[in-house]
Amino acid sequence: MGRVTSRHKVVRIDLDGEVTRSIDTVAGEEPLEVRVNGETFTVTMRTPGHDVDLAHGLLRAEGVVTRREDVVSARFCSDLDTLNVVNLEVPDRGDALAATSTRNLASLGGCGLCGTTAVDAVDAVVTVRPPEVVWEAATVAAALDELQARQSLFAKTGGAHGAGLAVVSGGQPLALVREDVGRHNAVDKVLGGALVAGVPTEGGLLVVSSRASFEIVQKAAVSGVAVLACVSAPSSLAIEAADRLGVTLVAFARDRRMSVYTHSHRIPH
């Protein structure tokens, strides 16, 4: 497995000051190949660490597994020079395909690669809509503050996204926090970590230090998350998907302000 961080020489140029030389700490990024029953499922670029959680999250988001028990084993391929290949044994899923990811939607036919196809594909995998729970706006804001405080990799490098999960019966603090150079990977790590640890995601609050993209809504919906709160802007397809899939989508959630785009009844106002 590679390093979570690495050190690199850097020349700093200040147009109103000096040119200085120093050493920077940056977030690590390496490929991870995820195999299902020995066959390549996908390859993703990620920050090494919590790779088994990441693999579980990917398979959960794609509808390949739904429970922790669906995965018999998860092992790194130790015969390789680096531990950048992880294999999950999933009985009766030797033909597993990434059914919902936009990188594979073209094979689904229908109207071709478009927003409707993407949302339809996710809708086919989501078997249960998120429960009707209430998350106070102050709780959402506090969860985002806690996420920021627990982003140790970002504090060191300034180059990592974070994702955190609060559960319905758990209150504060966040049950899980994960970081990665990729915002989607951070979400897969936290939701996959919940799957591995048996932490319930249904009705939960997912907070993410990024914009609200379609893929993140997808991952939240498949795991039964009720409220997804992101610090930056939403995309049009993220709003469309959240509305259809029953997820409360919160964006621009920072400085104790937030914009609720879908299913706002879950956040009293």
Region 30-125: CATH code: 3.10.20.10
pTM of full prediction above 0.75:
yes
Q: 137-266 architecture in CATH?
A: 3-Layer(aba) Sandwich (3.40)
Give the pLDDT confidence score for residue 8 in this predicted structure: 92
Residue 79, CA distances (Å) to 51, 76, 85, 116 in order? 17, 9, 10, 43
Binding-site residue ranges: 252-257
Structural domain spans, the chain: 30-125, 137-266
* Model pLDDT, residue 114: 53
Chunk the chain into consecutive blocks of 10 residues (it has 269) and report each block's average pLDDT, rounded to whole numbers. Answer: 82 88 90 91 91 95 90 84 85 60 41 59 77 93 95 93 91 88 95 96 96 92 95 91 93 91 91
Helix (H/G/I), strand (E/B), else coil: 255: coil
Around 79, how many Cα atoms within 13 Å sit in the side-chain half-sphere?
Answer: 1
Query: How confident is the model at residue 148, as a pLDDT?
Result: 95
Q: Is 230 in a helix, a strand, or coil?
A: strand
What pLDDT, on the 0 to 100 scale, is given for residue 142? 94
The catalytic site residues sit at 111
Query: What secondary structure letter does DSSP report for 212?
Result: B
Q: How far, in Å, CA of 59 to CA of 202, rounded?
A: 17
* Cα–Cα distance for residue pair 185/19, rounded to 1 Å: 36
